[in-house]
């Protein structure tokens, strides 16, 4: 008689029927029991050589997943990028000094503009412009810009403590209002095919489409479609491989379709600037460009309304009157026009040129660190990619000046 080891996990009545020694089902033990095969039949299944083992079914991946990616654009910036970011931030935290010094930058001078003459009328040492060394007319200009900057910041201040919104206060106060940190980008990943034997999803089996970007701002957060930031829809196929028994997902490196420079520029001009100097909810035009900011700092937000006197005409009339006629209104107006038309693109190009010759932001899961995926409700379908508390890592980079810089980033997602 063949001895076959049988685990006692079935109904006791079955074990008693198949034997086990003893007249009471309770006497049956998980020890080996003698089982006689039926005449001409096969032996009882167990550890019988040649019998195939079954494996657990693999959860299906096919479906659509909502993904939230978070990027930190403020930490660990290379010196070249940090210098540009800090230069632009000076417009927010030290608007008077930044605008007045811009008057003396030869890069924005143009023939016949009068900007160099204005610089010389404002600073005692035009080659080294310093707000501590101003002429009498320079003090007038400083007072005009200081007053308008303070008025705009206080009027747009979302906090009860308006000291947080003075021109020399950080635009990132209180903590948590830095739009460069915690930038969220929503995307949708759709997979229509299951992985092959090697875990790779067949070509064309998964695609990615980016949706809305959300940034923290003074007083709250704001969102904008990424297609608006990039000027085009951001979508395309991605390569995906399941690993670790189909419980880990590796995403090959691919392009986000967005460059770092335009992204930073949009965050500064279209999101942070209106939040700090005026979003346009009070009936006056919004301050949402470097041109608008310079004009408003010289003549107030009302000059941005095309129905009113232009910013430079208003500034020239005001300065000339306060200077007692010692400054020509026509010279000041021409210099102001040059400052806006030449100075604003000069500032913007610092940002746009950061990675203008690159393919933009690249991202994928790090080598050896795939994303953990889970079937949360045991319905044999993948439900989650990481989690909000334990997100997966992106290896995100941007090429600046021919050198790749790392951008700290994470993501998590769930099935729709």
The model's pLDDT over 282-303, given as tens digits with 9 standing for 90+, comes to 999 999 999 999 999 999 999 9
Q: Over the chain, what is the mean pLDDT?
A: 86
CB 149 within 8 A of CB 95: yes
Name the residue ranges covered by the structural domains of the chain. Answer: 1-54, 63-73+181-259+356-415, 79-176+264-352
pLDDT of the residue at 264: 96
Is the separation of the CB atoms in 73 and 355 below 8 Å?
A: no
Residues 6+ apart with CB under 8 A from 238: 189, 206, 207, 208, 251, 252, 254
Q: How far apart are CA 178 and CA 74, in angstroms?
A: 9
Q: What percent of the chain has pLDDT over 90?
A: 70
Query: Which pLDDT value is given to residue 220?
Result: 85
Does residue 40 have a pLDDT over 90?
no
> Rounded to 5 degrees, what are φ and ψ at 398?
-140, 140
- Report the pLDDT value the prediction gives residue 277, as an integer from 0 to 100: 95
Residues 304 and 300: their CA atoms lie apart, in Å, by 8
Distance CA 382, CA 361 (A): 28
Cα dihedral: 38, 40, 42, 44 (round 10): 20
The dihedral built from the CA positions of residue 243, 246, 247 and 249, taken in this order, carries a sign that is positive
* Cα gap 94→90, rounded to integer Å: 5
Q: What is the pLDDT of residue 49?
A: 56
Q: What is the pLDDT of residues 340-394, one digit of tens each?
A: 999 999 999 999 999 887 789 999 999 999 999 999 999 999 999 999 999 999 9
- Between 376 and 22, name the one with better pLDDT: 376
C-alpha span between 122 and 136 (Å, rounded):
8
Model confidence at 3, pLDDT cuts 50, 70, 90, reads: very low
pTM, to two decimals: 0.83
Q: Find all residues with CB under 8 Å of 46, minimum gap 6, and list them.
A: 4, 5, 6
pLDDT band at residue 179, thresholds of 50, 70 and 90?
confident
**Stretch 94-104: mean pLDDT:** 95
- The band of 9, judged by pLDDT with boundaries at 50, 70 and 90, is very low
More reliable by pLDDT, 3 or 130:
130
Residue 34 has pLDDT above 50, yes or no: no
């Amino acid at each position: 008689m063949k001895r076959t080891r049988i685990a006692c996990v079935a109904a006791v009545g079955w074990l008693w029927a198949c034997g086990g020694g003893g007249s009471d089902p309770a006497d049956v033990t998980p020890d080996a029991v003698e089982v006689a095969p039926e005449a001409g039949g096969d032996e009882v299944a167990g550890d019988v050589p040649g019998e195939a083992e079954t494996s657990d079914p693999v959860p299906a991946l096919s479906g659509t997943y909502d993904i939230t990616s978070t990027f930190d654009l403020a930490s660990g910036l290379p010196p070249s990028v940090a210098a540009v970011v800090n230069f632009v931030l000076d417009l927010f935290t030290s608007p008077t000094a930044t605008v007045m010094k811009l008057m003396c930058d030869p890069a924005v001078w143009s023939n016949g503009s009068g900007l160099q003459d204005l610089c010389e009328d404002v600073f005692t040492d035009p080659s080294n412009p310093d707000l501590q060394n101003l002429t009498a007319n320079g003090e007038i200009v400083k007072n005009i810009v200081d007053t308008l900057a303070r008025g705009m910041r206080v009027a747009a201040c979302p906090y009860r403590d308006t000291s947080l919104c003075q021109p020399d206060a950080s635009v990132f106060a209180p903590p948590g209002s830095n739009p460069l940190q915690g930038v969220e980008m929503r995307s949708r990943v759709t997979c229509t095919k299951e992985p092959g034997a090697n875990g790779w999803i067949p070509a064309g089996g998964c695609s990615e489409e980016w949706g809305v970007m959300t940034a923290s701002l003074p007083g709250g957060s704001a969102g904008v479609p990424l297609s608006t930031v990039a000027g085009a829809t951001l979508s395309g196929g991605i390569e995906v491989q399941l690993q670790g028994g189909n419980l880990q997902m590796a995403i090959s490196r691919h392009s986000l379709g967005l460059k770092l420079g335009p992204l930073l520029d949009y965050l500064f001009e279209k999101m942070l600037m209106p939040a700090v100097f005026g979003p346009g909810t009070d009936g006056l035009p919004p301050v949402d460009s470097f041109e608008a900011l310079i004009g408003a700092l010289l003549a107030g937000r009302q000059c941005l309304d095309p129905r009113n006197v232009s910013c430079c005409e208003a500034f020239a009339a005001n300065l000339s009157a306060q200077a007692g006629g010692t400054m020509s209104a026509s010279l000041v107006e021409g210099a102001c026009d040059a400052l806006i038309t030449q100075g604003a693109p000069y500032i913007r190009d610092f940002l746009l040129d950061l990675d203008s010759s690159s393919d933009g932001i690249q991202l994928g899961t790090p080598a050896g660190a795939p994303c953990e995926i889970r079937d949360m409700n045991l319905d044999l379908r993948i439900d989650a990619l990481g989690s909000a508390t334990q997100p997966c890592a992106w290896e995100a980079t941007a090429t600046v000046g021919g050198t790749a810089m790392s951008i700290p980033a994470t993501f998590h997602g769930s099935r729709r």
